[in-house]
């Protein structure tokens, strides 16, 4: 519960420029490189970018 709150705070402080996403190739959280805001087919916003380590495309769905 505490970790969850801290993560929310981190996102709030860092803003949308520094976004972390889970990389399935690295099996770790990575800071998204070259993040771009996109809109998904269902109308939700997401951040799309690249894993700085392996180059895999990362997505992070933005809340609500
Ligand atoms: Zn990776």
What lies within 8 Å, CB to CB, of 3 at 6+ separation is none
Q: Which tens digit of pLDDT belongs to each residue from 2-59?
A: 666 666 655 555 555 678 999 999 999 999 999 999 999 999 999 999 999 999 999 9
Ligand 1 centroid to 59 CA: how many Å?
12
pLDDT at 4 (0 to 100): 65
- How close is the Cα of 5 to the center of ligand 1, in Å? 25
Q: Three-state SS for 61?
A: strand
In the reported structure, the alpha carbon of residue 7 is separated from the centroid of ligand 1 by a whole-number distance in angstroms of 20
Ligand 1 midpoint to CA 28 (Å): 7
- Residue 54's pLDDT is 97
Token pair, residue 9, equals 């705070």
Angle value at C-alpha 49, between 16 and 26, nearest 5 degrees? 110
pLDDT of residue 7: 65
14 token code pair: 């860092």
Higher pLDDT: 53 or 62? It is 53
Residue 63 pLDDT:
76
In angstroms and rounded to an integer, the radius of gyration of the C-alpha atoms of the chain is 12
């Amino acid at each position: 519960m505490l970790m969850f709150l801290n993560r929310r705070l981190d996102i709030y402080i860092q803003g949308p420029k520094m976004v972390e996403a889970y990389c399935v190739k690295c099996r770790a959280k990575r800071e998204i490189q070259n993040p771009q805001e996109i809109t998904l087919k269902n109308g939700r916003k997401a951040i799309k970018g690249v894993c700085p380590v392996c180059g895999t495309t990362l997505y992070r769905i933005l809340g609500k």
